[in-house]
Structure 1
């Protein structure tokens, strides 16, 4: 089992953005020592508690303070940006840290229409142009075409497309790039998406298919401990989906929160996107999903209030597959 981290930099209540940035670098160095293979940063805008808004900058900061762990984006919101500029940033990172740069890009608008427009400097929506922009990005990082992006590195950075269904999987396969499925967003399409990617893959940037799966995981000392820890993540996700405070609440706040029947039902529905349990349950579920998806490469999201508990969760997960 290959393990990495996908970090949305979900900020606990009572912690500043500056403190969050320091804790994130510390966490990444910690999981590198544990043996995790990669650390990816998400891109979110217009929220109060998701601190990762510029994955390229976080990648540079982290690569400079670690030794060998791969650093990546999960993912850069390509429809809002120039493919040429994104390529130049990725190539610059590759020149600084050869072989450690993994570029994941996605189709998300990054927020509401106001946020999307600001990111795109007022230009009309280019969501439908994602396939063309991704093709252009691939050409630029490979040094193809009449205009080449700089710097011209010896080897291109790795490129992945993030997706939630068969269409995105097929497009990544046809381009010969990697594919990351968001189980933590839409788990019902996982098996079909991975299968489509494998079946339609054509050698390109990669000579063989490279697929990964991103999932929420909380691994406690036992099932009961994990359930207690996960209450903060449950409430956090509920608030995020409602467009409310996206900072992570404490377990105490989550336990004291009076929830409606529909909110409790929504939390249980969202648990399909997560693996919550003690070591035995977490290992069983990861192995079960790996068998279904035929994928043994995982990006783990753990959005807890307590950073020490987050570290311990990642430690327990890694120990399962050491």
Structure 2
């Protein structure tokens, strides 16, 4: 089994941006040493606690600090940008770091409608244009736009060199079908909503146009690991409450002291329990067993894992315990 990391660069309450950046670099360097194969950055806007607003900049920094781990986006919000601009950014990254870049893209609006509008400088909502934009992105990356295309004579810079592989982040059969028809990789967002996993993966496999052995599928899952079940539950507590806070507009990770000083309502406890279906929490042996079960269920051998906890030491420890248990 191959494991990678998806990093939203969570900001813990009371911590500085500078310190969070330092810890992110430390984590990526350690991930490479531990044997993780990918390190991807999410894209979030207009939040007070998720610092990864520009994955391409984080990719550049982390790829510069490491030597072999693949670094990518999970993912660029293509409807908010020009396919040409995205192609040029990632062709440049591929030129800087050959065979180490992944281009993950998604259809998300990036936040509220106001946020989406600010991202596009007042442009129209472009979500329905996503399939066409994917075609244009591929065309610019590979320099093979159709002859009748209005931008046929526009070439992505740098013209020479390879293009990075493209992954579509999806939660639905339509995403799976689109990725398959274009011959692209699919990242299933189990950590967002695992409910449509079967229909999404079935759609991908039924519509994949290339040889089956060229299918590329992974899934992203929340994970919190501790040496004991009790320790794992404590590590997961700040992640549980952070997910609850997201619904209320607070994206900073709360401290254990803050959490334990408050009473959780019955309604909130139900939400926490419901959110746990998106996560794996437990000892190294339990995490391994549940990842292996998901691997059989999904028919895949690669996961991205995401651990958003208040204490940086807990994140590091969780990733180390998992890597050691799976002999990465």
Note if contact 1:55-1:73 (Cα within 8 Å) is conserved in structure 2: yes
Note the C-alpha offset of 1:290. Answer: 0.6
The Cα offsets for residues 276-299 of structure 1, whole Å up to 9 and x where unpaired, read as 111121111101111000011100
* CA RMSD after TM alignment: 1.3
Which deviates further from its counterpart, 53-62 or 8-17?
8-17
2:263 to 258, 267, 290: 258
Note if contact 1:211-1:295 (Cα within 8 Å) is conserved in structure 2: yes
1:196 to 195, 200, 203: 203
1:161 paired with 2:162, answer no
Task: Write the distance in 2 (CA, Å) between the matches of 1:259 and 1:154.
Answer: 54
Alignment TM-score, normalising by the size of structure 2: 0.95
1:273 to 274, 278, 281: 278
Note if contact 1:195-1:293 (Cα within 8 Å) is conserved in structure 2: no
Secondary structure of 1:187 counterpart:
coil
Task: Write the distance in 2 (CA, Å) between the matches of 1:153 and 1:225.
Answer: 51
Structure 2: gaps of 5 or more residues: 146-151
Aligned pairs for 1:154-303 (under 5 A) are: 154-203=161-210, 208-243=214-249, 245-303=250-308
Note the C-alpha offset of 1:255. Answer: 2.1
Note the C-alpha offset of 1:203. Answer: 2.2
Partner of 1:35: 35
Number of matched pairs: 320
Alignment TM-score, normalising by the size of structure 1: 0.97
The Cα offsets for residues 41-98 of structure 1, whole Å up to 9 and x where unpaired, read as 0000111000000000000111111111100000001000000000000000000001
Secondary structure of 2:186 counterpart:
strand
Structure 1: gaps of 5 or more residues: none
Aligned pairs for 1:42-81 (under 5 A) are: 42-81=42-81
Note the C-alpha offset of 1:229. Answer: 1.2
Task: Write the distance in 2 (CA, Å) between the matches of 1:222 and 1:275.
Answer: 14
Task: Write the distance in 1 (CA, Å) between the matches of 2:238 and 2:160.
Answer: 44
Note if contact 1:29-1:66 (Cα within 8 Å) is conserved in structure 2: yes
The Cα offsets for residues 219-264 of structure 1, whole Å up to 9 and x where unpaired, read as 1111111111111111101001222x21111122222221111000
Note if contact 1:231-1:255 (Cα within 8 Å) is conserved in structure 2: no
Task: Write the distance in 1 (CA, Å) between the matches of 2:123 and 2:163.
Answer: 29
Secondary structure of 1:109 counterpart:
coil
Note the C-alpha offset of 1:114. Answer: 1.0
Note if contact 2:91-2:162 (Cα within 8 Å) is conserved in structure 1: no
Note the C-alpha offset of 1:207. Answer: 7.0
Secondary structure of 1:9 counterpart:
coil
Alpha-carbon spacing, 1:54–1:233, altered in 2? closer, same or farther (3 Å): same
Task: Write the distance in 2 (CA, Å) between the matches of 1:240 and 1:300.
Answer: 19
Note if contact 1:11-1:20 (Cα within 8 Å) is conserved in structure 2: yes
Partner of 2:138: 138
